[in-house]
Amino acid sequence: MNDSPGRARANSGGDQAGGWGPGGPGNTGRPGGTDGSGGYGPGGGWGRHPWPPAAPPAPRPGVIPLRPLTVGEIVQGALGTMQRYWRTVFGVTLAVSLCTQAVGTVVQGVWMRNLKGLERFGGNGDEVPSGRELLDALKNTAAGISVGMLVSIVGSIIATGVITTVVSHAVLGRPSSLRDAWTSARPRLLSLAGLFCVLPLLGMAPVAAASALGLAVSAANVAIGAALLVAGMPVALAVAAWIWIRYSLAAPALMLERQGVVASMRRSAKLVKGSWWRIFGIQLLAALLVFVVAAVIQVPANMIEMILNGGRDLEAPLTWSSLIIDGIGATIGSTIALPLTAGVTALLYIDQRIRRESLDLELARAASE
């Protein structure tokens, strides 16, 4: 969709020889001779004009064919990158996941395992925490969550930068060691960090605005404020989703085109324009695959935790053994999820450039060099 008008592709079924040239749209696709004899029976049977030859297959130097991609080819390309370059891909994602989950486990164990004020506040009401206890518990919770989020964002920045570089090599079928990918991605990580700071703020802005409006009105009239919150929150979430997809291709644009934060966001908006729903569907599919993988991995982790802890009550305080087991399951899930989501996003970016800018021709030339 949204291909440049009049573009003749030598590697797709929509070129002049394949469908929309002379005799193209009326072509039934039935077999016929190429010497004017037609198809079945003496004298031609299907007419005297020769059928056009089939279009040659698109070149495929790497994990994808160099033509506009289908949804399945984008997902298969991401999985193929993980399979072909597994040492590089899983090397970086395993290291990132281990670091982030280790910090998260320590944060949960130290800050959030013994929050007495919150436990009493959420209990049966036998003991109500004082205002100072509740404030301390909330401060500890906020501090723990902030540290965990910060480490997770840093890990995501590194993984996204390196995986995007690996995908760019995988498309051309070129080797990509961990050292090469890191050397190529490292100069762009600071700009990528800026992008990862800006995009969440843009996404949260509509939700924050709707919440602030509802709370402000609630100060004067609780019923109207609640109604505004109920009606405004779905709209705010829809706007946040629109922002997410509009700028979802900014990271690969920043990494592969060496652009700044604002320029990469503009580039993403240009590439997404007219294809929002398609990109939304593919990103949603990738998120669903990640969720399924995480759920499948978490099942045995939960079973092991229940066996070791003898069926611990969900309301009982967390133990270090349960935190470590959960962390191992989360590490395995993140190691698989990070390259899948980053790979799908990078291939979506490449696909949109193929559709809009004939990038496949440049990639074919680069692959042949």
- Per-residue burial over 18-52, b = 16 or more CB atoms within 10 Å of its CB, e = otherwise: bbeeeeeeeeeeeebeeeeebeeeeebebeeeebb
- Per-residue burial over 246-265, b = 16 or more CB atoms within 10 Å of its CB, e = otherwise: bbbbbbbbbbbeebebeebb
Residues 145 and 17: their CA atoms lie apart, in Å, by 59
300-319 per-position pLDDT tens digit: 777 776 776 665 554 455 67
What DSSP designation does 18 have? I
3-state secondary structure 86-114: HHHHHHHHHHHHHHHHHHHHHHHHHCCCC
**322: which residues sit within 8 A by CB, 6+ positions away?**
305, 308, 309, 312
Give me the torsion for CA of 8, 13, 17, 20, rounded to 10°. Answer: -80
Residues 120 and 176: their CA atoms lie apart, in Å, by 54
What DSSP designation does 21 have? S
Break the chain into its structural domains and give their ranges.
Answer: 71-187+276-368
Residues 40 and 31: their CA atoms lie apart, in Å, by 8
Provide the pLDDT for residue 272: 96
Helix axes 189-218, 222-246, angle to 10 degrees: 160
Q: How many CB atoms neighbour CB 139 within 10 A?
A: 11
71-80 per-position pLDDT tens digit: 999 999 999 9
Helices (runs of H) and strands (runs of E) counted in the chain: 12, 0
Give me the torsion for CA of 245, 251, 256, 262, rounded to 10°. Answer: 90
Q: Mean pLDDT per 10-residue run, the chain (369 residues)?
A: 42 36 37 38 45 75 94 95 94 90 76 51 52 62 68 87 95 91 93 94 91 86 86 92 96 94 96 96 93 83 71 56 80 89 96 94 88
Provide the pLDDT for residue 162: 94
Burial of 167 (C-beta count, 10 Å sphere; 0-12/13-18/19+):
buried
Which of 52, 1, 46, 7 has the alpha carbon at shortest distance from 25? Answer: 52
